[in-house]
C-alpha cells in the first residue's frame, strides 16, 4: 500500500523581540482567534488585530513574531489610530514558523504593536498571543500490509475540538467501505491516531481516504487523498 501526504481545501508564545525596547504602555489589543489556518499553496487567513489606547491620529505598526526570531519575523501591518485612539489591522501572508506544510500542532506567534504618536517614549508593546496551523493530513506508508494499523495525523482549525472520523471509499463511489473513529482534535484541529486504512475486503485497487468531523462522510468538509492497495 502506498500513500501520499495530502492537503485539501475548503475554505502561548513567548515574545522575542531581540534588542527592541520593551515597557508597559497604555496601548492594548486582541486578536480575533486563538488559532489561525494556513492552507499550503493557498496562504493563511488574515490575522485580525484590534487596538485601543493609542495616540489619536498617530501611525502604528503591528508585528507578528515567532518564538526566538527577530521582531516582525512572521509579518507586519500598519495603520492609523482614530480620534478615540482605536485601530485595526490585518496580518496577511503569515506562514508557520517551522516552514512545514504537513499537519502540525499550533505554532506560536506573539503579536505586538508600536504607537509612533508617543514620540521618544514609543515602545514595542505585547498585545496578544495566537497559534497557526496547516490544513493537512498524513497517513504513514508503513507498515506496508494494509491489514495493519498505521499512523494518521491531521490538522486544521475546521476540526478544532471535534470528534474526527476516517472513511475509506473507492473512487467517486459514495459507499463507505470502512469507517474509523480517530478521537477528538485539539484547539487547532490537530490529532494523531492509528487505524487500518483500507476497505474491509482488502481487495487490490485504487481508493480514497477522507477525514472529517462527525460520524458521516461529508466530502465538502473533509480532507482526503488517494491510495492504492497492491501486492503485500
Q: What tens digit of pLDDT does each residue of 59-93 get? A: 999 999 999 999 999 999 999 999 999 999 999 98
Same fold, 28-133 and 135-229: yes
> What pLDDT is stored for residue 232 in this prediction?
54
Name the CATH superfamily housing domain 135-229.
Answer: Macroglobulin (MG2) domain (2.60.40.1930)
Distance CA 124, CA 227 (A): 50
**Residue range 28-133, CATH number:** 2.60.40.230
Residue holding cell 486582541? 30
DSSP character string of the chain: -EE--B------PPP--TT--B---S-EEEES-SEEEEETTTEE--EEEEEES--TT-EEEEEEEETTS-TTTTEEEEEE--TTS-EEEEE-S---TT---S--PPEEEEEEEEEGGGGGG--EEEEEEEEEEE-EEEE---SS-TTS-EEEEEE-GGGTT-EEEEEEE-TT----SEEEEEEE--TT--EEEEE--S-TT--SEEEEEEEEESSS--GGG-EEEEEEE---
pLDDT band of residue 172 (cuts 50, 70, 90) is: confident
Averaged confidence pLDDT in the chain:
88
Q: What is the mean pLDDT of residues 204-211?
A: 95
Q: What tens digit of pLDDT does each residue of 117-129 get? A: 977 557 899 999 9
Domain residue spans of the chain: 28-133, 135-229
Give how far the C-alpha of residue 228 lies from the chain's centroid of Cα atoms, to the nearest Å: 28
> What pLDDT is stored for residue 221 in this prediction?
95
The answer to whether the CB of 124 falls within 8 A of the CB of 21 is yes
Between 21 and 211, name the one with better pLDDT: 211
Distance CA 179, CA 196 (A): 9
- Of the candidates 15, 122, 144, the one whose C-alpha atom is nearest the C-alpha of residue 61 is 122
Amino acid at each position: 500500500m502506498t500513500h501520499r501526504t495530502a492537503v485539501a481545501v475548503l475554505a502561548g508564545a513567548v515574545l522575542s523581540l531581540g534588542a527592541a525596547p520593551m515597557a508597559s504602555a497604555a496601548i492594548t489589543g486582541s486578536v480575533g482567534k486563538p488559532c489561525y489556518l494556513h492552507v499550503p499553496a493557498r496562504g493563511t487567513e488574515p490575522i485580525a488585530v484590534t487596538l485601543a489606547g493609542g495616540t489619536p491620529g498617530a501611525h502604528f505598526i503591528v508585528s507578528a513574531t515567532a518564538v526566538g526570531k527577530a521582531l516582525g519575523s512572521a509579518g507586519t501591518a500598519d495603520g492609523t489610530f482614530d480620534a478615540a485612539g482605536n485601530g485595526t489591522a490585518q496580518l496577511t501572508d503569515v506562514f508557520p514558523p517551522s516552514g512545514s506544510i504537513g499537519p502540525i500542532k499550533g505554532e506560536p506567534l506573539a503579536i505586538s504593536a508600536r504607537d509612533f504618536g508617543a514620540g521618544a517614549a514609543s515602545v514595542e508593546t505585547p498585545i496578544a498571543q495566537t497559534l497557526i496551523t496547516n490544513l493537512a493530513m498524513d497517513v504513514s506508508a508503513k507498515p506496508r500490509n494494509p491489514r495493519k494499523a498505521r499512523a494518521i495525523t491531521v490538522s486544521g482549525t475546521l476540526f478544532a475540538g471535534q470528534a474526527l472520523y476516517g472513511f475509506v471509499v473507492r473512487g467517486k463511489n459514495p459507499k463507505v467501505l470502512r469507517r474509523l473513529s480517530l478521537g477528538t482534535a485539539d484547539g487547532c484541529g490537530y490529532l494523531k491516531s492509528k487505524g487500518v486504512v483500507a476497505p474491509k475486503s482488502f481487495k487490490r485497487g485504487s481508493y480514497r481516504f477522507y477525514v472529517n468531523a462527525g460520524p458521516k462522510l461529508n466530502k465538502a468538509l473533509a480532507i482526503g487523498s488517494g491510495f492504492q492497495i497492491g501486492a503485500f
